[in-house]
A and B are shown apart, each in its own frame.
Chain A
Amino acid sequence: MKVTSEKLPKSLLALDIELDKEQVEKGLDRAARRLSQKYNIPGFRKGKAPRFIVENYFGRPALIEEASEDLVNKAFKEALEQEKINPVGRANLETVKFDEPPFSFRVTVPVDPTTALPDYRAIRVPYEPREVTDAMFDEAMDSRRERHVVLREPEEARPAKQGDQLTVQLESFLDGEPLETRDEGADVPETNVVLEPGRLIPGLYEGLLGIEPGETREITAHMPEDHENERVRDKDVSFKVTLKRLQDRLLPEWDELPTLEEEEITLDELREKTRNELAESVRTNQERETIDAYLKQLVEQTEYDIPDALIEQEADDLLHQRGHELERYGITLDQMLQYRGQTHDDAVDELKPEAEERLKTTLALREIVKNEELTASDDEVDAEVERIVGTYEDDQRERARDLLSHQMRSTVASSVIDKKLRERLFQIATGVAPEAPSVAEAQPAVATVDDATNE
């Protein structure tokens, strides 16, 4: 068997496969046996007619046709093995030439796509470490306190003042038209508002000051230009508000807060803790933003060669993943598709751009992991296993440890690598990454492995 391969764009590999004579003959023999089993040839019981009789009776072309599928499949499999090709999708049969020897055919197979990374180490994302401002800190502390608010009915009815919790029926109108639609005759739903200047639309706050229980007021307020609802931006909206209930909001004293949070620490320590948590969340958020921005640039600059088959497969995977998510809400994928009036193929098509994007990111990252020689050593994986085990309840730890360190070890390992990768990407994006391993290639390879384990 002779195989010649040729690279085509989009990571397709074209294989020209030429079959040996014996191979073809064998295939024809098998085909003849099949035909004689299937059809009646006068003078013979089914399956008993010898090859030459079958060939005479049906003619050689028929025999070849019968044999070709089988032959192509077999030869294709052998060719893949011979050429050590690892296909990533379904092969496509282009041409078959079986009418005269030498018998040959041509298939195209999608193979692992090649990814040409740009100088990914040169990509920078502007990074300005954000500090925790006093305003942010105060807000965090306030919201901690806010969580422990106690509502109490005032002893006697009184007009609303700042800091009250109001239960109101609120309707809003733009140019006399109601903004919200609701069923005919239904009651205006009640909403809770807190009468604080920063927590209500300016205008509405002033308008509500002094409102008495049962009173209905009409208030017109000018919407800010950055309001969420585009229709009302920079417009005057009138509200019709009826106060149903008024409650005092009793906020805990600051020194009561640690006890309420069920922590045996002083207020200062709680403040410190809040500040640290805030700093941590600011940092991780910013890190994520930076990495996302970096990835966007990376994907834009990387050259890909992705076979369509792979994208389709990814889109399919994506769809099924969605399906699993839906199942948690008790809907099957099929029901969902039916509801949207889509066929399975439509849905896959729709997901293709997203799938391509995801695939591109994955491929680029895989390439970077390779280039940066990021690995997870056994010790690191063990450490990660222990960390995860720590999050389980005591009585489940044994089982979790067992599961994680055996069946799921590879998953844990990849999460370790993933963590390292994020760290490295962040370093690259902000320009503080250590030398790339490729630069230090002069060192023996053993040293890099050691480095990885010592980290």
Chain B
Amino acid sequence: MNAHQIIIRPLITEKNTNLMSLNKYSFEVDRAANKAQIRHAVEEIFKVTVTNVHTLNVRGKLRRRGNRYGYTADWKKAIVTLAEGDRIELFEGV
């Protein structure tokens, strides 16, 4: 699995922007990826040093369409802590 397959997209939400002040960045990652793989992928893509990786599985939400019920896809979230001084420009934009 290459780095871009592991890191699916950055998560930009109110909660996550607040975490950015603690140098923590959140991503949606491949469900099969482990913390070590995520660490390497982030380091490779953004050219930063990762000090810590937290992961969690997010259950898909119950959705209804007509009288049929189904679930949205489960996914894995990763919260990556960077070494002091490192930043990921993607979030900051420009």
Using CB atoms and an 8 Å cutoff, list the residues of chain A in contact with chain B.
Answer: 43-45, 48-50, 52-53, 55-56
Contact = CB atoms under 8 A, between A and B. Distances in A.
Contacts of A53: 12, 17, 93
B92 to A, nearest CB: 6
B94 interface: yes
Interface string B66-94: 00000000000000000000000000111
B93 A43 contact: no
Contacts of B14: 43-45, 48-49
B13 interface: yes
Given A49-B17, A52-B93, A52-B94, 12 more contacts: A43-B11, A43-B12, A43-B13, A43-B14, A43-B16, A44-B14, A45-B14, A50-B17, A53-B17, A55-B93, A55-B94, A56-B93
List the 8 closest A-B pairs by CB distance, nearest first: A43-B13, A56-B93, A44-B14, A48-B14, A43-B12, A52-B93, A52-B92, A50-B17
Size range of the chain B interface in the assembly? under 10
Nearest to A43: B13
B13 A44 contact: yes
A56 B17 contact: no
Interface of B: 11-14, 16-17, 92-94
7 contacts: A43-B13, A44-B13, A44-B14, A49-B14, A52-B92, A52-B94, A53-B17
B71 to A, nearest CB: 21
B94 A56 contact: yes
Nearest to B16: A43
Contacts of A45: 14
Nearest to A49: B14
Nearest to B11: A43
Nearest to B13: A43
Contacts of A50: 17
A55 B14 CA distance: 15
A55 B93 CA distance: 9
A389 B16 CA distance: 79
